[in-house]
Structure 1
């Protein structure tokens, strides 16, 4: 097969796997989200004002470095399992699920920080789905990497929420309890 034919086959496989989710497909969303998140962190580092500027001076580069390290680690784990890896900007934009808005750079620094915290929270939803599928598929390297990523993100959420003066879950996704067992 030619390079073009191989890539066309990859695109067909990717489309199938995104409609019939696999761990690899979900991890493709995760790595795309991480890449988009690093761009948002860079924007906040450059434009945030006030106390958030101090936060980004302390944590911004570490966040970016850690996220890039996880991208590399997850890509290696995808490759080890024969899973597909988003490698073009088109794929990253297609698979990324974080909201971008260039006007946010003009918002209050704490709002920019909280937006990034909410992005961590959104990413944890994908990581949970990826973990479940990786466990089901027996992809232990992916399970380990996703577990490490989730633990790191939870710690950074706690740190940033504390900096912002928020309770840990304030403004974040909270799963609704479906129990009909209301206590009086």
Structure 2
């Protein structure tokens, strides 16, 4: 089988997996979200002003480092189990569920920071679903890794919401917000 045929086969299987969904497919979304979120954190670190700039100066690099480590770990877990992972820019754009807008860099620092919190919150939806699927598929190493990632993200949400002076769930997703997920 040629490289092009193998890739075409991978794309067909990925499409099937994303409509089923499977733990691997859901983790593909998580991988894409981690990459895009890391880029958004980098941008906010460059453009946020005011107290948010100081907060991001202290936490931004740690967030990026953690997310990049998780990105690599999840990619390895999937590849080691014969699963597809996003590998092209088009796939990352297709699989991420995080919103991007160049206007964001000109918003108030606290608004930029809160946008990152909302992205963390969006990631929890996919991670929770992937954990349930991994447990159902008897894939403990994936479920365990995702459980640790979920706990870390919830900690970052709590820390940042406190910094912003918000209650924990202020402005974040609730079950009543969207039944389309």
1:180 alignment counterpart: none
2:118 is the alignment partner of 1:133 = no
Q: Matches of residues 99-110 of structure 1 in structure 2 within 5 Å?
A: 99-110=99-110
Alignment TM-score, normalising by the size of structure 1:
0.94
CA positional deviation for 1:87: 1.0
- Residue by residue over 1:58-96, the C-alpha shift from the partner in whole angstroms, topping out at 9 and shown as x without a partner, is 001110000000001111111222111111111100101
2:69 is the alignment partner of 1:69 = yes
**Root-mean-square deviation (Å):** 0.7
2:141 is the alignment partner of 1:153 = no
Unaligned segments of structure 1, at least 5 residues: 177-184
- Residue by residue over 1:31-70, the C-alpha shift from the partner in whole angstroms, topping out at 9 and shown as x without a partner, is 0001000111011000000000000100011100000000
2:56 is the alignment partner of 1:37 = no
Q: 2:26 aligns to what SS in structure 1?
A: helix
CA separation in 2, counterparts of 1:167 and 1:82? Answer: 42
Question: What is the total number of aligned residue pairs between the two structures?
Answer: 176
2:59 is the alignment partner of 1:59 = yes
CA separation in 1, counterparts of 2:82 and 2:131? Answer: 17
2:179 alignment counterpart: none
Unaligned segments of structure 2, at least 5 residues: 177-181
1:179 alignment counterpart: none
CA separation in 2, counterparts of 1:80 and 1:7? Answer: 17
1:182 alignment counterpart: none
CA positional deviation for 1:101: 0.3
2:16 is the alignment partner of 1:16 = yes
CA positional deviation for 1:175: 2.3
CA positional deviation for 1:174: 2.0
CA separation in 1, counterparts of 2:9 and 2:63? Answer: 35
Show structure 1 runs of 4+ deviating over 2 A: none
Q: Which is higher, the Rg of structure 1 or of structure 2?
A: 1
CA separation in 2, counterparts of 1:20 and 1:2? Answer: 27
1:96 alignment counterpart: 96
CA separation in 2, counterparts of 1:83 and 1:139? Answer: 12
CA separation in 1, counterparts of 2:140 and 2:84? Answer: 17
